[in-house]
Structure formats: C-alpha cells, structure tokens
Amino acid sequence: MSSHNESIIREPLITGKNITYAQITDDILRPVEKLPGKAWWIGFSVASMGATLWLFAVSYTFWYGIGSWGLNKTVGWAWDITGFVWWVGIGHAGTLISAILLLFRQKWRNSINRSAEAMTIFAVICAASYIVAHMGRPWMAVYSLPLPNQYGSLWVNFNSPLIWDVFAISTYFSVSLVFWYTGLLPDIATIRDRATGIRRKVYSVLSFGWTGSVKTWQRFETVSLILAGISTPLVLSVHSIVSMDFATSLEPGWHTTIFPPYFVAGAIFSGFAMVQTLLLIARKVLGLENYITMFHIEAMNKIIILTGSIVMVAYSTEFFIAYYSQVEYEQYAFINRYFGPYWWASWSMFCCNCVIPQVLWIKKVRRNIAATWFLSIIINIGMWFERFVIIVTSLHRDFLPSSWAMFYPTWIDISIFVGSIGVFFTCFLLFMRVLPSIAIAEVKLILKGSSEQSKKKILADGHVDKEQAEFYVDALTKFDSVEMAEYQKA
Amino acid sequence: MSSTKFILGCFEDPDEMMDGITLLQQNSVPIYDVYTPMPIHGIEAKLGIKDSRLGYAAFMFGCLGGTVIFSLVYYFMVHDWPMNIGSKPAFAIPDFIPVTFEWTVLYTAFGTVATFFFATHLFPGRTPRVMDYRATNDRFVIAIDAKGNTPHADITNLLKEAGAVEVKHNDRKYVSYEI
C-alpha cells in the first residue's frame, strides 16, 4: 500500500519540500510540546471569560428557575432548544469527516478528522448542557431514565421522541468519545515516547501502553472501520431523532415529514462551517498549512455548497407543501414565518443559509481563505436563525389568538448562549494544547502516495502523460502552500 | 555468550522495512514483532498474522444491545404497565425502533473497543513495553529475538542490506523499563 502511487492528476494532500516522518511529528506536536504563544493566551482568556459567564448564567438559572429566561406560556421553548439543536448540528460534521469519509476512503479526511471529532465532542457537551439547563431543576434529569421507582414502577414513555433523544444524544456522545479516544492512542504514545519526566508519566497513563506492534495496528484498523460503519447510521439517526422532537408534534410549522433529511443536511452544513471557522485559524496559528491545504478548504466548501443547497430546497419544499396541503393553519404558520413579526429572523436565515453561500459556486471565492472564513461565520449565524425560526415563529402564534405572544430574551438567555460558545472554545483551545490536533499516524500514512514531494519526483522521472502533468501543475496554482516557481522552470 | 537479547532493525522507510522482512524470511530468521508509527498495509499477510476477529465480536455485541433494549422496552411498555393511548396497541414496534437502534450501536461500539483493549492488553496505566522510542515517531522497527538466532552479525548484515539505517543490539527487551 505504501509504495502505491496514485494517479498524478489527483491534487496532493500534503505540500512542502522534504517532509519526512519525523518532520510530520515535529510539526504537529509543536503546539503540544512548546509553551503556547500569545495568540493562544489571548484566545484562551477570552474563551474562559465566556465560560465563566456561562457558569454564572447557568447557576443563576438553577437558583432562580426557568423564570429567569424570557419564556412565556406561548413560547415555551426558545433560545434553549435553539442552542441545543445548533450545537448538536455543529457536532455532525466531525462524525461525517471521521466516519462517512473513512468509509468512502477519502484520504483528505486524515488531516482534519482529529480536530473535527474534538469539535463534535465539545459541541455535544454544549448541547447536552442546554438539555440539563432547560429542565430548570437539573436533578429532574433522572426522570428521563427508565429506572424502577415507587410509582408503580411508572416507566418513561418510549413512544416519545424526547426519550428517543435522550438515548440518541447519550449514545452519540459516548460513541464519538470512544471513537476519538481510540484514534488518539497511537498519537498519545508518540508524545509519550518523546516526553520526559512527569509529562511522560501522564501521557504514559493516557496512552494505555500503546506499542504500535503489527497486531495492535491490525486490530486498531478493524476497530476504526467498525466504529465508522456504526457511526455513519448513528449520526444520521441523531439529527433525525432531534427533528422528530418537532416533526411528531401536531404543531403547524413543525409537523412536516421532510424534517429528518432536512435537519441532517442542515447539521452537516453548519458543522462544516464551524470546521472552517476553527481550522482556517488553527492552520495559520499552528503553522499547519502543509497538512490542511487549499485542497481541504475547497473540498469542505464543496460540501457546504451541496448541503446548503439541500437546505434551500428543503425551505422551498416546506413552503410549497404548506400551500399544497390546503391546511389553513399550516399555511398561516409559513406566511407568518416569512411575513409576520419575525420576518427579520426568517429572512436572515434565508439570506445567510441559501443566498449568500451560493457565491461558493465561484472558484475564486471557494479558494479564498478570508472569504471562506467570513462565509463560515455567516452560515453559523444563519443556522442559528434557522432553529430560532423553526421553534419560535411556529410557537408564538398558536391556535388561540388571545395567547399570541412574542419572545424577548433576557440577559440570562443571552449569557447562556454567549457563554456556551466560551465553553466550546475553552475546551477546544485546551485540546489543541495537550493533544495533537491532527492525527499524526494517519497523515504519515498518506505521505508516500499523496504528497506534493512524491508527485514532484514522479514528474521529474518524466514517465507521466504530458497532458496529465500540465493538468496537475495547473491544479497546484490554487495552493497557498506550494512554491510554483519550481514548477515553472521545469 | 553475548548479552544481546533483541536485535532491532530500524528503517526510515516502510518499503525498505518490508524488503527487510522478505530478506529475513528468505534466510529463515524468525521475526518477533514489528513496531511502526503507522499501520502498514499488507504486513499481516507477509508475517502470516490471521485476520482480526473483532468483526464477529462487534456483531455479537450489536445483537446483544438490540435484544437487551427491545426486551426492556417490551417489559416496560407492554408487560409491566401498558398505557392506553387512544386505544392504540401498547406493543408499538415502530416506536421502539429508535432506541433499539441506538443501543445496538452503543453496545457494538463499547463492546468492540473493550474487546480490542482486552485482547491487546491496553488499559490506562499499563506500562508501555517500548523497544525503540522512535518506533512511534519515524522509525519502522523489526524486532528479532536474539536468543537462538545466531550468528548476530549475519542478521545485522541482512538488515543493513535491506536498508536499515541502524541496527541495535539491545541487552534489554524493553528500553522503557530503564526509566
């Protein structure tokens, strides 16, 4: 496998000259083995202030109750469930990269899967915190578990999608964690074998005694494949079940059969946007331009444009079906959504998710880092609005006009949301500090076949079809990490 | 008698290491194990290592998880406390599918990983049995038990011939024990 040369027309996945296995280790472990720079400390300070705000706002909620939020008897779900669905959705990209792209043998996943999976785990932690917080009295969480009790036993209702969600989210979180940690073992062993003193002891415990023998690797790869195989339907099921929290209700605007696929596409869309937000900065700050290349950025942008367009079709279908159903309530819910008092939220959603990302069809935009980063933020905002629109605009005008109401967030609502972003970034920055943010072993795996240097050697040997060679060199121009001068004189 | 316990052929290229294995096998030198910083595809066949049976374990754990949760839900919802929801049947199989699926996945994941850790002796705090510290970094290491495999000089030459950048004669099996 390692001696196999792939077709020259495929773009390289690792750029740079004289990259050796040792250099991959050095490059990726630099942030782990060196003290963090100023950028990290600034980011960490801001993020931990956010996390502190979250801690305060959640404690305040637990102390004074859900009344400290802006909910009223008409709008009983608002920023809490919006935040929950937003975070779970973000998590989906990580599993897509680590599981689905593994099954499809997409080698470019190797350099982004680790940080994307970490993102999944931290996003699901943020999502789960919303679930616990929205109970108001967090100890009530025990009633979501089917435990024997003194009322009969009165069991939880397995006909309810909310109970399915408890199972889905907890399974998703724990399976993602296991998948991520198993993948980390060889890389933790790499840190261990280079470290000294107390660091070696700590990483030694964390490495589970990994040696990298033949049998270990063989089993490791089998386990990775099995976990990828089961994580693929799992990730699709999770957001389908989240969507059923809404879709199985009788609420106009929620009661639509399109929800599961629409939510899954939206989740992947928002998740990839968050991956871009994180990785574009990480690659620059950590100097990983040779591993997370323009090819990766463009590939992710292509997934964003695909899933974003699916979301656009879903919005349009929903609207059409509301008209076509001839159900007055359904029709009103959708007219009200786009032209009622929450028109600004719906149109923000539509512009941010459907209109603006369409510029990604243009090659120049797709390959522009600043534009991509800006778009990723736009999509993050748009997808937050999507959940807000689905939840609040459907609820705020119910069947009785006398109970129509608006939702106004309190400063606690806002603090919990802003704070959860702080929690997420605190976790992510700590992760980048103590664990390798790129899967070292997996990147080494593609060094021989898919790197720029190996392809350059093949070009230099001159046994390549001229047309293909030109095509390849032409494709290299998009990379910001390739020195084109060397190819021009050749 | 030499005090060498293990001979390590350290390669910097996986293909050269594979050549090294071929060469050793041609000369009937048994290989103890091979330590690499990344998985080497095709090495199992070469060393005659059987396929992993973890797939069977995964299947069994999946069946177990699905059966456990479906039985539990049947007990809760049908046997112990059936609820009359609009006279619809208590044994509402479609409603039980999501949780059955989730636990099938959950048991498969945890069961497979636990089996992997158990079979490979991986657990938090296990003392790493490291023969060469660079085997997790940039060296592809073939380990040969020195006992009974003589003369050592011949083995060294074979490894060098295949392209080993360094051949070590270690007095200890695991260098990680020295610290």
- What mean pLDDT do residues A47-74 have? 93
Across the A/B interface, how many CB contacts are shorter than 8 Å? 203
Nearest-Cα residue of chain A relative to residue B12: A21
If pLDDT is split at 50, 70 and 90, which confidence band does A153 have?
Answer: confident
Determine contact, residues A5/A454, Cβ cutoff 8 Å. yes
Nearest-Cα residue of chain B relative to residue A174: B106
Residue B24 to chain A, least CA–CA distance (Å) = 17
- Domain ranges within chain B, ordered by starting residue: 6-51+131-178, 54-120
Q: pLDDT, tens digit, for every residue of A290-343? A: 899 999 999 999 999 999 999 999 999 999 999 999 999 999 999 999 999 999
A226 and B58 within 8 Å at the Cβ level: the answer is: yes
Portion of chain A with pLDDT greater than 90, in percent: 64
Burial degree of A270 (CB within 10 A; 0-12, 13-18, 19+): buried
pLDDT at residue A2, rounded to an integer? 44
- What mean pLDDT do residues A404-431 have? 94
Complex ipTM: 0.93
Nearest-Cα residue of chain B relative to residue A221: B39
All residues of chain B having their beta carbon less than 8 Å from the beta carbon of residue A203 are none
Which member of A1, A146, A444 has the closest CB to residue B41? Answer: A1
Fold of the CATH domain B6-51+131-178? Alpha-Beta Plaits (3.30.70)
A159 and B92 within 8 Å at the Cβ level: the answer is: yes
Q: Which of A314-328, A455-469, B18-32 is least confident? A: A455-469
Q: How far apart are CA B13 and CA A469, in angstroms?
A: 26
Which member of B38, B103, B123 has the closest CB to residue A441? Answer: B38
Q: pLDDT, tens digit, for every residue of B76-91? A: 999 999 988 899 999 9
A193 and B127 within 8 Å at the Cβ level: the answer is: no
All residues of chain B having their beta carbon less than 8 Å from the beta carbon of residue A3 are 15, 18
Determine contact, residues A389/A345, Cβ cutoff 8 Å. yes
Q: How far apart are CA B41 and CA B127, in angstroms?
A: 27
Portion of chain B with pLDDT greater than 90, in percent: 47
Residue A206 to chain B, least CA–CA distance (Å) = 6
pLDDT at residue A1, rounded to an integer? 42
Q: How far apart, in Å, do the first and last CA atoms of chain A sit?
A: 29
pLDDT at residue A4, rounded to an integer? 59
If pLDDT is split at 50, 70 and 90, which confidence band does B162 have?
Answer: confident
Residue A457 to chain B, least CA–CA distance (Å) = 16
Q: How far apart are CA B44 and CA B32, in angstroms?
A: 13
Residue A450 to chain B, least CA–CA distance (Å) = 15
Q: How far apart are CA B101 and CA A175, in angstroms?
A: 13
Q: 3-class DSSP state for residue B168?
A: strand
- Side-chain-side CA neighbours of B66 within 13 Å: the count stands at 12
Q: pLDDT, tens digit, for every residue of B95-124? A: 999 999 999 999 999 999 999 999 999 999
Q: What is the pTM of this model?
A: 0.92
Which string of b and e fits B108-133 if b means at least 16 CB within 10 Å?
Answer: bbbbbbebbbeebebeeebebbbbbe
All residues of chain A having their beta carbon less than 8 Å from the beta carbon of residue B43 are 214
A3 and B15 within 8 Å at the Cβ level: the answer is: yes
Determine contact, residues A188/A207, Cβ cutoff 8 Å. yes
Q: pLDDT, tens digit, for every residue of A209-222? A: 999 999 999 999 99
Q: Residue B178: is its pLDDT beyond 80?
A: no
B81 and A152 within 8 Å at the Cβ level: the answer is: yes
Nearest-Cα residue of chain A relative to residue B131: A211
A190 and B83 within 8 Å at the Cβ level: the answer is: no
- Side-chain-side CA neighbours of A406 within 13 Å: the count stands at 8
B37 and A444 within 8 Å at the Cβ level: the answer is: yes
Element (H, E) at A198: helix A197-206
Q: How far apart are CA B152 and CA B155, in angstroms?
A: 5
The mean predicted confidence, pLDDT, of chain A is 90
All residues of chain B having their beta carbon less than 8 Å from the beta carbon of residue A440 are 37
Q: Residue A489: is its pLDDT beyond 70?
A: no
A208 and B124 within 8 Å at the Cβ level: the answer is: yes
Q: How far apart are CA A388 and CA A162, in angstroms?
A: 19
pLDDT at residue A490, rounded to an integer? 53
- What mean pLDDT do residues A137-161 have? 89
If pLDDT is split at 50, 70 and 90, which confidence band does A12 have?
Answer: confident
All residues of chain A having their beta carbon less than 8 Å from the beta carbon of residue B72 are 146
- What mean pLDDT do residues B52-66 have? 95
The mean predicted confidence, pLDDT, of chain B is 90
Of the options 1.20.1630.10, 3.40.50.970, 3.50.30.30, 3.30.565.10, the CATH number for the domain spanning A29-450: 1.20.1630.10
Determine contact, residues A340/A392, Cβ cutoff 8 Å. no
A219 and B42 within 8 Å at the Cβ level: the answer is: no
